[in-house]
Amino acid sequence: MKTTEGIDLVYGTDNLSHDVCDRAIEALEAGHVVFLPSYGFPVTGSDKPLFSPAVLNKDAKNVSYNPATRKLGGITTSEETTALLQDMMKRFADFAQELVTRLLPDYRNGLIQGRASFRPVEIEGRLTSWRKDDTRLHVDAFPSSPSQGKRILRLFCNINPDGRSRIWRIGEPFEQVAKRFLSSIKPPLPFSGALLQLFGITKSRQTPYDYYMLRLHDAMKADERYQAEVEKIELDFPAGSTWLVFADQVSHAAIRGQYQLEQTFLVEVEQLRDKDRSPLRALERLVGRKLI
């Protein structure tokens, strides 16, 4: 089973050929991970104090960063460390935006830069609820910020200072996941999306598409037998590497690793080269109706 498309790109390369951009877009839309082993985020000497789980607030899973407002979340640090974090996250958000717009020019007009995050805690052995446990295979869906059909594209950088890899697992293709779990998911109630928004549970309207994606995420993670028995492949992302994935399509789990940067982008379905491969179209085919 093919899961990754390796592209040998070096940070600082001026021109990206059409062929490289084509390969990246084709691979992403086919549900593969685009892996850039030599395209690392340049960590500087001043970032050093940030390599500690102590930068995190005790209730937070990640440091979050909003590139639009430059605001940080999930931190408990001194003013000095906050300024260092702000500096690193700004550089990272710019790095990610630049890479995605150059590597995936087809998406430029429908690309929305979302939040970025810094994940300073070792994943292995971390105690959490099953729903938040990212060591279980899942597809991404946002409970409080419905994507309303837009694709969730994520860029990750392993910046581990001790050279340790980040280990992922990749499961079966999206349509197979959906076929397996959809029969156990009841259709959404009429007006449920409007009510969730009215009571402030979601920031925008939860469409039937968002409803099914959240239920799929939960059904996958809650099924211990599925987690144990489904066919999966382990991937090793070395320190200094970068990878991109449509996280709403690729069944993934993060098994081991510490110190990762992540940037989320939303991509309009209209910008895709092949809209039929999107989770929206796959679910619409399976459910037999429009979902947004």
User: Closest separation between CB of residue 158 and Fe ion, Å?
Assistant: 15
Q: Which stretch binds Fe ion (CB under 5 A): 81-89, 139-147, 207-215, 267-275?
A: 139-147
248 touches Fe ion (CB under 5 A): no
Q: Are 248 and 145 in contact (CB under 8 A)?
A: no
Number of residues that bind Fe ion (CB under 5 A): 1
Show the site string, 165-204: x = touches Fe ion by CB under 5 A, - = not.
Answer: ----------------------------------------
For 5, the 3-state DSSP assignment is strand
Q: Which stretch binds Fe ion (CB under 5 A): 55-63, 132-140, 216-224, 233-241?
A: 132-140
Tokens matching residue 287: 């459910």
In order of 109, 149, 232, 236, the CA distances from 255 in angstroms are: 34, 28, 12, 10
In whole angstroms, give the CA distance from residue 239 to residue 10: 14
Among 5, 47, 140, 284, binds Fe ion (CB under 5 A): 140
In whole angstroms, give the CA distance from residue 6 to residue 276: 24
Q: Across the chain, where does the E strand assignment appear?
A: 4-6, 33-36, 63-66, 71-73, 111-119, 151-158, 166-170, 233-237, 242-246, 252-256, 260-267
Report the residue number, 135 or 278, with the smaller CB distance to Fe ion.
135
Report the residue number, 84 or 266, with the smaller CB distance to Fe ion.
266
Report the residue number, 70 or 132, with the smaller CB distance to Fe ion.
132
Show the site string, 87-126: x = touches Fe ion by CB under 5 A, - = not.
Answer: ----------------------------------------
Which residue type, as a one-letter code, is found at position 35? F
Report the residue number, 31 or 77, with the smaller CB distance to Fe ion.
31
262 touches Fe ion (CB under 5 A): no
Tokens matching residue 61: 């899973």
Binding residues vs Fe ion (CB under 5 A) = 140
